[in-house]
Amino acid sequence: MNLVVVGLSHHTSPLELRERLAFSNAELPSALLRLHKGLGGAGVVILSTCNRVEIYTHHTMEPDELRKEIRFFLSESHCVPEEAFRDALYEYENREAVGHLFRVASSLDSMVVGEVQILGQVHDAYIAAQAEQTADKVIHALFQKAFTVAKNVRTQTTIGEGKVSVSSVAVDLAESIFQTLSGKTVMVIGSGEMAELTLKSLVSRGVRSVLIVNRNAERARALAEPYNGEAIAFEELNNHLHRAEIVMSATAAPRFILHPPSFHHALKLRGQQPMFVIDIAVPRDVDPSVAEIDNVYLYNIDDLEHVVAENLELRRKEIDRSMELVEHGVNQFMQWKDTLVAEPTFVSMTEELNTIRERELERTLKALPDLTETQRQEVAALSKRIVKNILQRSMVEIKHEIGHHDPHTVLHLVKRFFGLRETT
């Protein structure tokens, strides 16, 4: 059985390509089921975030064939020819796939190293697979171990201290542009987690006023109220756009919600005073051609990388320690996975020893006809305890040997030792 991950991220692909291959929350259940069924019941998890699209699978298929099937699935699901994204993919198998997931969950592969959102996103991807029953035993154990490793990294290092979210980095960018956010008006479009995190960061930097825009007026008011912000219905967006020096957009809209005419109108009302627009949504909320308008300065999530570089340098000392924890977790998981090959042998051992136990118990009880029923039960219980102890100690030692030597060689010797039939 092989573990394989195929994916692309901000490290390997531009935002435009990630947008084309992303799975929305609404698309995820059917995508999981299609791939699970297409691979004949393989264990499957799909992780799709702003910065990455990754597919984790566990299957008897050879890794090369499995990777080929996943590439076809990505192409077919999004009507994107494989040649358009083939060079951007990374493909890992078994130990390398395990290490990759552990680094992702621990935020060591994130644009902002140490950010906390990715762990929640990995958890959500796993829960979605559980809900559709596409996570098999190994996938289940893999993701549970990933959560443990991420927790260890978070608690045993300082990798997560300071500004560690994409939203806070976006606010850093705005502050670097204006020097100070005090006295500024900021418009936040969207009411999801990313929008709220951005809003908290803005308020902490002393912005004068906040405008909250959402398609649902009640949700806009609910988000605006704790921050003394002003709620604006989505339909009124263009009538208020000119009021903001900074516009941050983080909706889940499937297509652009802001276009050049909106900004031409806003600039006219602002007397051509500059506007800074930070689009941290994936897919993007703002038409990229807006960047061509004079006095509008548009940044998207990929543009945050120069701020992230500074963040990464501050955390570099903690990365080595975090990588050690990841490697330790990988070793533990792979040792566990290697022992799975022994399960059929353990079943055969148990059956063989119990067959011997039952045969010898029957012979012994026949030789002792004067035993009471209670005594006969005690003898039977004793025989079960002896076999259980032999099996437990043997299995522990066999797992240990498998973890340090070739599993097939170890199991061959075990089968010979216990007189078990060789299986193909």
Judge whether 50 counts as a catalytic residue. Answer: yes
Of the candidates 354, 174, 355, which has an alpha carbon nearest to the alpha carbon of residue 248? 174
Name the E strands within 280-351. Answer: 296-300
CA–CA gap between residue 219 and residue 216 (Å, rounded): 5
CA–CA gap between residue 232 and residue 216 (Å, rounded): 9
Integer angstrom CA distances of residue 217 from 39, 210, 231: 44, 15, 7
Angle of the 95-105 helix axis to the 117-131 helix axis, nearest 10: 120
**3-state SS, residue 271:** coil
CA–CA gap between residue 36 and residue 28 (Å, rounded): 12
Residue 81, preceding peptide bond in cis (omega within 30° of 0): no
Query: Which of 50, 98, 153, 247 is the catalytic position?
Result: 50
Return the number of other C-beta atoms located less than 10 Å from residue 217's C-beta.
14
Angle of the 305-339 helix axis to the 166-178 helix axis, nearest 10: 170
Residues acting as catalytic residues:
50
